[in-house]
Structure 1
Amino acid sequence: MKRAALPLLAAASLLAVALVLFAGSDREPGPPPVRAFAFDLAGRIAADQRYLKQAPQDATVWAELGLGYVEQARLTANPAYYPKAEGALRESLRLRPGANDTALVGMAALTGARHEFAGSRDWAIKAAAANPANPLAHGLLSDAYVQLGDLAKAQTSLQTMLDAKPGVASYTRAAHLFRIKKEFPRAAHALKLALDAAAGSADIADIHCRRGELAWQTGRPSLRAYEQALAAWPGYPAALAGRARALASIGRNQEAVRAYATAVARNPEPQTLIEYGELLHSLGRKTEAETQFRALRGALKLFAAGGVAGDLTAGRFEADHGDPAAAVTHLAREFARRPTGEVADAYAWALHRAGRSREAIAHARDDTALAAFHRSKIERALGRNADAARSLARAKRLNPNLPNLRMEVARGR
């Protein structure tokens, strides 16, 4: 894949200045690309598998195969690739226990994808120590620090990656950090740099999806970005789900239902199943909604079998559609694992739904539209009506297109 020709200095208005300003979403985008593959990923995996039948002692190719499986899981949201990735990476480390930064990077990527963020941090630290010049080691270390809530260290690691190798993987990470900071124009510019550096259809589709997420979060039209992603890669799972969400956000509900049906048929990812079920529920199609919720429970089991810690998704689902007490258990565990704003909001909402609003308000936030909406409900339950009105107004101001607002109102909450 063609790399960005721009040196980091050329992006000074975005990166060299702004990265030093970081301090500590309604829906977080997926992880950045693990690495750039210059050709068909499935073909690369098949070629590695064939090669290893002839040369099973090649630690480097075992590590490359493991990274390929992690990337395939990212692209397809299929957790069945994670055990395969772990097996390949551990075989690489068995064959070459030392000086194997590729396998260490693979383990950092794998544990991060499984939401084992402290473990991902530790593997990335080992990878960076084994080869300080490996940019992906620093990128994955930045990812782990973001999820662990340490944005200062995330910034430092990302800057090291940017200095070493500006390109798609580093620019998308910069965009994500700007998005957390609510520096939305800078996030958009980082994604433009990523798009300029991209050549492969998977990277192009992924970047357009991130542009759609950014537009959606700020209440701007996002449909075109998802359609551009689908033009780059027809059937790209994140784009199918994003297009459905965008249609729902502008009230084109019947089109959204059809789009969600297509998305979950192609890739029954848990968050998309929740959104589809909630849309059907809001339209009074409760039996169909329950079908999606049953599919969600099955998907969560598949992700758990792949080693993914799914407490955030399970907790959100249980809070609104199942057992709020179970939601509190899930989200307390997730909050201990990664005390980010996104998890704090979900935890606060679960506590409120479990009848524990006085505890919930300590975790409630108002930095995203959904968080502000949840905060308004918690404040109203505590009799703080003026505060609740302000929080609700803030939610609508932050993102007037947020489907959850309409769906929550439709459910009478």
Structure 2
Amino acid sequence: MARAQVTDLVVVLPGIMGSRLADADGTAVWDLSGAALLRGLRTFGRSVTALRLPKDIGDGDPGDGVVPVGLMPDLHALPGIWHPVDGYTDLLRWLERHFTLSVADNLLTFPYDWRLSCRYNAERLKGRIDLELERWRASAPERREARVVFLCHSMGGLVARHYAERLGGHEVTRRLITLGTPHRGSVEALAALVNGSRLLGPDLGTFARSLPSLHQLAPDYACVTGPQGLAYARDLPGLPGVDPALLADAARFHADLRSAPPRAELHAIVGVGQPTAASAAYADDRLTLLPELDGARAGGDGTVPRLAALPASGAGEGHAVTESFTPYEQHGSLHNNRGVRDALWGLLGHTPPGTAEDAAGSRLGVQAPALLPAGAPYEVTVTATGEELLLTAELRPADGNRPTARTLRSLGGGRYAGAFPPPQPGAYRLAVGGVTALSLVAER
């Protein structure tokens, strides 16, 4: 099949932790994915002190010699800071296979030091685009009017938005596509700051609290229930775990984006249908995550609530753009979702070959632990819409070993559940799928 023509420069930005980091000697300091994830996390937990940022770093560079060296290729996670995320290798291969795009030619990746502020990384992005777009336009006459298409997962969308809306990047941007970007933040990020990490030791919590980026992922809407009702995190004095200066600066960062409503063409792909924390109750110096906001369930992609995956309007009320596509998918897998890729065909200027994935067949909300204590069974709960389904859950080891499957039992009312025996230590992917019971009867 001939590849679809794309004459623009396409730039892929990962989310937080989605860039590999190395020190000045080229030694990896963050490169933990796939089968090596569990072993590497233990080592990282002991050496994380070296990556902690100095206080009052603001939008600066710590001068510690750490540099981004590429995108994470496979499943990666840092428990206590962010949920597991699939790597970006498959996305890049898909783009090269179906479009006239080539890595290091007109398909660029932009790894960045995800510890640092989105403003700092947007400045770096500007320098890279200035060079690469000039190179690409000069490479052939038909490319002289080429512009940039940004494809951004999670926090990468905040970096690209700051470039486009605050650094003049809208002048060369064709469109900006965000996948699960927490435009208005995520209460999960706030919980990581307040509750710290009991998973890899106190050093990880101290490391997390030094990051401007994690503060910029904190929710930019009133979502913390206190004595006076819902409040913004920045308005709660003495909130433990956060750096008040970084949290106040994060509020200014989001206000700056709201004051420059999208001038670049912005398309937000928003994960829905997954149990997602939308607010939190604060008591006894801890946050308890809650799925409701003002008494209503917001839903989302399991990490970013639906209401926060769209940029706010200039007044901070309502949304500046509408949803471009709403897949039933978890945050960490949005960029590898088949329905999302069908949407990307249209956003890159082409009609997808064949039939788009049947959205009705994939409306599954999946709840399962992101981290499991040793010796505990792995329990899965699924909600589904429509007809009664026969659902199967498959637990796939990241090291390529044989997967384990379980048929989920129906609990009635569109709810299903199942459990795997305690898995061996390691990293896993969970896949859930099924068919209607009626279709199975017809085939027998």
Same fold (TM over 0.5): no
- Structure with higher strand content: 2
**TM norm structure 1:** 0.28
**TM norm structure 2:** 0.27
- Structure with higher helix content: 1
